[in-house]
Structure 1
Amino acid sequence: MSFQRQLGFWLTALVIAVLALVLLRGILLPFVAGLVLAYLLDPLADRLQRLGIARLPATLAILCVFVLLLILGLVVIVPVLVNQLAAFVARMPETVSRLQQLAVEHGGPLIERFGGAGALHDVESSLGNLMTQGASWLGAFLQSLWSGGQAIVGIFSLLVITPVVAFYLLVDWDRMVAKVDSWLPRRHVETIRMLASEMDHAIAGFLRGQALVCLILGTFYAVGLTIVGLNFGTLIGLVSGLLTFIPYVGSLTGLVLSGGVAIVQFWPDWPMIAATFAIFFIGQFVEGNILSPKLVGDAVGVHPVWLMFALLAFGSLFGFLGLLLAVPIAASIGVIVRFALRQYLTSPLYDAPAEPLPSEPLPAEPLPPAPVGAKPLVATARPRSKKNA
């Protein structure tokens, strides 16, 4: 098969896959969630299998424990989060107004000194409009998050579907991998296996490692803010830990929310405000120097900007289903791009020697001077003979 026909075949397969994803996105979520769950739990099933437990009992035990922990977490945590979210939204206008008042009271003299008498009124008006718009945007975002959370709770009500899909996939995982491997074109089987291994390394390193990082940081933030006595500490801590999945977004979101609430609640008790900020600084230090190097390491190979773009793009296109697919697709594209770059760097297209530039023509050598008394060489026309004429 020629290169053009191979390219056409794979492009057609890609278009069909995208169309199927678009057309069936309304019903794919439990199946994709089951696939992700089976992928995450497969190493644990393999480990139990190496200990002498058969695949079927190991799979059944793993899924039962997972579902029980999930239900227990929902029963214990969800009511607390719902109550704190409702109280947070209700007190949002009061919090914003208090922050504006504190900013004007303590920053007013400095503004008047450098900007004049009318500058304070202008800054106060602009700050009020900015905070009002920010509060309305945040309220709309939380409302949409809550409506999306209700949809997610509805998804978790499909515990009859997702665990069943995960169960069958986890039981037959090794057989499925071997079957797909037997379908690979024998000519390129080693290259495809190498790419698949790199994709698995990147996806597993990010999903499993980053999930543990989010769990640890969310627990640390929630417990720390609750001990400090911050209002809505559990909500802010868990949301910050969950958003740690997106680089830099979780820490900044938690720092801004907790800092604003702490200033309104504890002012002018500076030690309590400093303790609130210190919790996030400690969390970031632990994440950057201990958790991420140990749990995630350099196995990801996904740039944070590319990851944020993939999450936002797939999330806006396919909703929660897109969030599940964003990381695997982003990691896979990264592996393919790095492979294509390696092939290019070892190809003649990159390593071919440069062709020499065309040289300029040499100037004509001057004729030697004629000897003294010699007649100059002048071309004269030969007279035509009468015969030729």
Structure 2
Amino acid sequence: MTIQRQIAFWFAALTVTVLLMLALRDILLPFVAGFALAYLLDPLADRLQKIGVGRLGASLVILILFVLFFILTLVVLVPFAAQQLGALVERIPSYVARLQQLAVEQAGPVLDRIGGRSALPQMQTSVGNLISQGIAWAGTFLQSLWSGGQALLGIFSLLVVTPVVAFYMLVDWDRMVSTVDSWLPMKHRDTIRTIAHDIDQAIAGFVRGQALVCVILGTFYAVGLSVIGLNFGAIIGMTAGLLSFIPYVGSLTGLILSMGVAIVQFWPDWTMILATLGIFVFGQFVEGNILSPKLVGDSVGLHPVWLMFALLAFGSLFGFVGLLLAVPLAAAMGVIARFALRQYLTSPLYRGGETVIIKPRIDVDA
């Protein structure tokens, strides 16, 4: 098969896959969630196997514990978070208005000297309109994700189907990997294995490591802001931790929200305002110097801008299913793009001479 025919074949396969996902996106959520859950829990099942627990028993124990934890979180945490988030969204316009008032009061003498006070009403109106539009856009985006992911399923079917799919996938995971490996074309098997290993390392390093970082940071921010008495401190901290899945976005969002609320609530007590700032500075120090190097590592290769684009693009196309697929697909595309770039840099198209063949690195036991 010529290279042109291979490219045409894989392009046609990719097109068919995307079209099928678009056509079936309303029913894919429990299956994609089950597959993702099995992937995340597979290392734990492997560890239980090493200590003598059968694969079936390990899968059953892990899934039961996870479902119990998920239900407990859903019953206890979600209602509180929803109530707090709704109250915070309602209060944001009043917080913005108060911040504008404080800015005018503190900057009034300076504005009088430079003659800029006359532009303040127009500026306040523009900022208010921008905030309102941002809140409306965020609400519309979240609503589209929810409706797109739950159009035909409902929350009950999601809770029932996902654990079943995850259980069967977890039991048969190693067998499925071996079967797919046996289908690889023999001529390119080593290269494909190397690329697949790099993709797995990127996905595992980021998803599993960054998820743990999010939990730790969210807990720290929520507890710290609540201890100093910040209004909506718990929900702001949890939001900052959740958005920390995208590097820098979570901490920046949490910092802006918490500082805005702190200034309105504590002004002119600078001690509590600086305490709020200190919580995020300390959290960023711990994340950058301890958590991320230990749990995520430096070999992930997912740039924050690329990750944000992938989340927005796949979320817009496939709803909540797209959000679940965004990170693994972005990681896979990044690995393939880097491999293609290496091939290009050793090809006659770039070098203008003979092709330099890059052989995949294969570890051989001594």
TM-score, normalised via structure 2 length: 0.91
Counterpart CA distance in 2 for 1:89 and 1:199 is 39
Counterpart CA distance in 2 for 1:157 and 1:252 is 36
Quote the residue 2:363 is aligned against: none
Quote the residue 2:158 is aligned against: 158
Counterparts in 2 of 1:237-386, with a 5 A limit?
Answer: 237-352=237-352
For structure 1, the residue ranges without an aligned partner over 5 or more in a row are: 355-389
Q: Which amino acid aligns with 2:121?
A: E
Q: Which amino acid aligns with 2:19?
A: L
Among all aligned residue pairs of Structure 1 and Structure 2, give the percentage whose two residues are the same amino acid: 65
Counterpart CA distance in 2 for 1:78 and 1:149 is 15
Quote the residue 1:78 is aligned against: 78
Q: Secondary structure at the match of 2:160?
A: coil
Counterpart CA distance in 2 for 1:101 and 1:334 is 47
Counterpart CA distance in 2 for 1:24 and 1:135 is 34
Counterpart CA distance in 2 for 1:298 and 1:311 is 21
Q: Greater relative contact order: 1 or 2 (C-alpha under 8 angstroms, separation 6 or more)?
A: 2
Question: Shift in Å at residue 154 of structure 1?
Answer: 4.8
Is the CA contact (8 Å cut-off) linking 1:214 and 1:242 kept in structure 2? yes
Counterpart CA distance in 1 for 2:107 and 2:324 is 45
Is the CA contact (8 Å cut-off) linking 2:30 and 2:161 kept in structure 1? yes
Counterpart CA distance in 2 for 1:57 and 1:282 is 42
Is the CA contact (8 Å cut-off) linking 2:31 and 2:162 kept in structure 1? yes
Quote the residue 1:167 is aligned against: 167
2:197 is the counterpart of 1:193: no
Q: Secondary structure at the match of 1:52?
A: coil
Q: Which amino acid aligns with 2:5?
A: R
**Relative to 1, partners in 2 of residues 1:136 and 1:308: Cα closer, same or farther, differing over 3 Å?**
closer
Is the CA contact (8 Å cut-off) linking 2:144 and 2:319 kept in structure 1? no
TM-score, normalised via structure 1 length: 0.85
Is the CA contact (8 Å cut-off) linking 2:206 and 2:296 kept in structure 1? yes
**Relative to 1, partners in 2 of residues 1:294 and 1:156: Cα closer, same or farther, differing over 3 Å?**
farther
Identify the structure with the greater helix proportion: 2
Is the CA contact (8 Å cut-off) linking 2:221 and 2:241 kept in structure 1? yes
Quote the residue 2:131 is aligned against: 134
1:8-60 per-position Cα deviation (integer Å, ceiling 9, x unaligned) = 21111111111111111110011000000000100100010011000001000
Quote the residue 1:213 is aligned against: 213
2:109 is the counterpart of 1:122: no
Q: Which amino acid aligns with 1:83?
A: Q
1:74-120 per-position Cα deviation (integer Å, ceiling 9, x unaligned) = 22212221221232233233222211111110011111112x2xx21
Counterparts in 2 of 1:224-235, with a 5 A limit?
Answer: 224-235=224-235
1:194-239 per-position Cα deviation (integer Å, ceiling 9, x unaligned) = 1111110111111001101111111111011100100011111111
Counterpart CA distance in 1 for 2:144 and 2:75 is 19
Q: Which amino acid aligns with 2:203?
A: I
Counterpart CA distance in 2 for 1:72 and 1:344 is 51
1:311-366 per-position Cα deviation (integer Å, ceiling 9, x unaligned) = 11111111111111111111111111111222223334444469xxxxxxxxxxxx
**Relative to 1, partners in 2 of residues 1:343 and 1:129: Cα closer, same or farther, differing over 3 Å?**
closer
**Relative to 1, partners in 2 of residues 1:337 and 1:149: Cα closer, same or farther, differing over 3 Å?**
closer
Quote the residue 1:181 is aligned against: 181
Q: Which amino acid aligns with 2:312?
A: L
Is the CA contact (8 Å cut-off) linking 1:206 and 1:299 kept in structure 2? no
Quote the residue 1:51 is aligned against: 51
Q: Which amino acid aligns with 1:269?
A: D
Is the CA contact (8 Å cut-off) linking 2:145 and 2:315 kept in structure 1? no
User: Number of paired residues?
Assistant: 351
**Relative to 1, partners in 2 of residues 1:5 and 1:93: Cα closer, same or farther, differing over 3 Å?**
closer
Counterpart CA distance in 1 for 2:344 and 2:143 is 48
Q: Which amino acid aligns with 2:214?
A: C
Counterpart CA distance in 1 for 2:131 and 2:288 is 30
Counterpart CA distance in 2 for 1:279 and 1:147 is 34
How large is the Cα RMSD of the aligned pairs? 2.1
Q: Which amino acid aligns with 1:310?
A: A
Counterpart CA distance in 2 for 1:77 and 1:295 is 25
Is the CA contact (8 Å cut-off) linking 2:40 and 2:208 kept in structure 1? yes
Counterpart CA distance in 1 for 2:274 and 2:143 is 31
**Computing the radius of gyration over CA atoms, which structure comes out larger, 1 or 2?**
1
